[in-house]
């Protein structure tokens, strides 16, 4: 099969959460750049409008909807509406998530300082909303006997990491097992479920914490390549997992981390 067919997502209908910036925007952009129709969602209305407009100005097929993934009925409704209007749903990127603050390497991140309210909020957004995204997307994909669901996890869910908060690490580990579990159920319907586990990328998560030079230095020290990744570097893996090239890939957690977990 030629490469243009192997990675062909032209005409695919794609749903992306957390698409206003960062990795979610990168996922939306690479899909739209390659001919997919992309529904971009985010809680940040202004950021989402600007992000979607920047792609439309290039003639790309993108739509937008302000959705707070913490509002599970609204999240499900947005997925259902996208599938209903286009008659199908081919790819869902469950990407939206939040930081849990610093890790135990600082006093503020040690377990005695963790607020249970903050813990519950992170669990709801980083785990429960991911489950709901999978469940809502799968309902449509099972009927059409095809689909791709791609979850944004983290290398913090693969091993301990002193730079990230307890709730973040715990939810990302749980998401990885959720992916494995869902992949087994949905395999019978030809629906592939996989997880991308990024290392440190230069994004705005944690109120732009990864733009702080000192934090950047600390994260870069744990990466053998000696730097943070740029958002564009997520695109190849995202396209692979959304395309026909991933027809025998499911239940995987794939690090993209500059060698940090090696």
- The CATH number of residue 183's host domain is 3.40.50.720
pLDDT of residue 160: 74
Query: Is residue 261 a part of any domain in this protein?
Result: no
So which residues are the catalytic ones? 168
CA angle 108/112/117 to nearest 5° reads 85
Name residues whose C-beta falls within 8 Å of residue 258's C-beta, 6 or more positions apart in sequence.
199, 223, 224, 225, 226, 227, 229
For residues 148 and 194, what is the distance between their CA atoms, to the nearest angstrom?
A: 8
Name residues whose C-beta falls within 8 Å of residue 44's C-beta, 6 or more positions apart in sequence.
20, 21
Query: Is residue 23 a part of any domain in this protein?
Result: yes
Query: Is residue 119 a part of any domain in this protein?
Result: yes
Strand partners, 196: 152, 254
Query: Is residue 139 a part of any domain in this protein?
Result: yes
pLDDT of residue 21: 96
Query: Is residue 224 a part of any domain in this protein?
Result: yes
For residues 23 and 229, what is the distance between their CA atoms, to the nearest angstrom?
A: 11
Contact assessment for residue 71 and residue 125, using Cβ atoms and an 8 Å cutoff: no
Query: Is residue 262 a part of any domain in this protein?
Result: no
Name residues whose C-beta falls within 8 Å of residue 209's C-beta, 6 or more positions apart in sequence.
99, 215
Q: What is the mean pLDDT of each run of 10 residues along the chain (262 residues)?
A: 88 98 97 98 98 98 98 98 98 94 75 84 97 98 98 89 84 97 98 96 68 78 91 97 98 96 89
pLDDT of residue 101: 79
Range of the domain at 99: 3-256
Name residues whose C-beta falls within 8 Å of residue 72's C-beta, 6 or more positions apart in sequence.
128, 129, 132
> What's the number of domains the chain is made of?
1
Using CB atoms within 10 Å of the CB of residue 169, give its burial: 0 to 12 exposed, 13 to 18 middle, 19+ buried.
Answer: buried
pLDDT of residue 152: 97
Query: Is residue 141 a part of any domain in this protein?
Result: yes
Strand partners, 152: 196
pLDDT of residue 211: 65
For residues 58 and 232, what is the distance between their CA atoms, to the nearest angstrom?
A: 17
């Amino acid at each position: 099969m030629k490469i243009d067919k192997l990675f062909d997502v032209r005409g695919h209908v794609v749903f992306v959460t957390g698409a206003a910036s960062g990795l979610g925007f990168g996922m939306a952009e690479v899909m739209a750049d390659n001919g997919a129709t992309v529904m971009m969602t985010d809680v940040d209305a202004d950021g989402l409008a600007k992000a979607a407009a920047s792609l439309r100005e290039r003639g790309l097929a993108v739509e937008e909807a302000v959705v707070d993934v913490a509002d599970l009925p609204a999240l499900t409704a947005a997925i259902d509406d996208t599938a209903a209007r286009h008659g199908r749903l081919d790819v869902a990127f469950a990407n939206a998530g939040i930081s849990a603050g610093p890790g135990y390497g600082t006093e503020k991140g040690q377990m005695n300082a963790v607020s249970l309210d903050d813990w519950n909020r992170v669990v709801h957004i980083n785990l429960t909303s991911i489950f709901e995204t999978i469940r809502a997307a799968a309902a449509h994909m099972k009927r059409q006997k095809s689909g791709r669901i791609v979850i944004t996890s983290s290398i913090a869910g693969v091993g301990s990491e002193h730079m990230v908060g307890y709730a973040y690490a715990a939810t990302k580990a749980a998401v990885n097992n959720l992916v494995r579990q869902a992949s087994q159920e949905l395999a019978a319907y030809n629906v592939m479920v996989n997880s991308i586990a990024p290392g440190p990328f230069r994004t705005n998560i944690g109120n732009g914490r990864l733009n702080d030079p000192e934090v950047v230095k600390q994260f870069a020290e744990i990466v053998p390549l000696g730097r943070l990744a740029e958002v564009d570097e997520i695109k190849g893996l995202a396209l692979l997992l959304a395309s026909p090239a991933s027809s025998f890939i499911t239940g995987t957690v794939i690090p993209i981390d500059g060698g940090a977990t090696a």
